[in-house]
Structure 1
Amino acid sequence: MSQFKSCIDACQQCVVACTECLEAMGGKKSDNDCPSCCAQCIDICEACVKAMARDSKYASQFCQLCAEICKWCADQCGQHDHDHCKRCAEACRKCVKECESMAASAA
């Protein structure tokens, strides 16, 4: 599992940032897919962490999908000026980088 450590860490940090963003955006009007993207990002990041922790033969596919969803979330939250959205977008970008790297190395 040590080969997954940096990717697992990035996914876990993304879950925290997306959860904070989702909570902060509760009840606020948004002109894009934030905070819906955060909920979907949380789900795939958690699934990705579990797949890597199990050393699943599908971990690279989970990571590829995670990278795609995190790109979308980074784009959506990155359009907002809220601090929590900026933190979320940055965590998503880091997760994209780690997940793409992990998916490429496992392919």
Structure 2
Amino acid sequence: MSLQDLSHADEVMQECIDNCLEAAQACEWCADACADEGEAMAECVRLCRDVADLTTLHARLMARDSDYHGDLAAVCADVCEACAEECEQFDHEHCRVCAEVLPTCAESCREMAS
């Protein structure tokens, strides 16, 4: 058995787990890179760190089939959308990657919340 075969995780949940982990990776990269860019990137750093923490936690709750993962899913989607909007304002490669990855994560989180 592999992690891809979690007995409780249907295809929609597994896709959301994957999207959350991808979003966390992109946001960790972006936050780290933006930290070197100065105060103008402070909001981007904050939102990226929020996304990285929330999406990682959401993936963990889904993996353990927590009764609370659906509650967190809506918050996760909101923060992903806010971060994508922030990142869209900048031309840095790391910001562009976030702006591209986060809407997909938000969409799959919204699906898990419903």
- What is the CA deviation profile of residues 40-89 of structure 1, one whole-angstrom value per residue up to 9, with x for unaligned ones? 11110011011101111111111111001111100111111111101011
- TM-score, normalisation: structure 1: 0.91
Percent identity, aligned pairs only, is 34
> 1:32, 1:76 within 8 Å by CA — same for their partners in 2?
no
TM-score, normalised via structure 2 length: 0.85
| Equivalent residues of 1:18, 1:39 under 8 A apart | yes
Does the aligned pair in 1 maintain the 2:73–2:110 contact within 8 Å?
yes
2:42 is the counterpart of 1:65: no
Shifted more, 71-80 versus 20-29: the winner is 20-29
Distance 1:27 1:16 in 2: 18
**Bigger radius of gyration:** 2
Q: What's the secondary structure of 1:89's corresponding residue? A: helix
Alignment root-mean-square deviation, CA: 1.2
Q: CA–CA distance in 1 between the matches of 2:26 and 2:41?
A: 20
User: Which stretches in structure 1 are left out of the alignment for 5+ residues?
Assistant: none
Runs of 4+ more than 3 Å apart: none
Aligned to 2:72, the other structure's residue is in SS state helix
Task: Please tell me the residue identity of whatever aligns with 2:57.
Answer: A
Listed as ranges, the gaps of 5+ residues in structure 2 are 1-7
| Equivalent residue number for residue 2 of structure 1 | 9
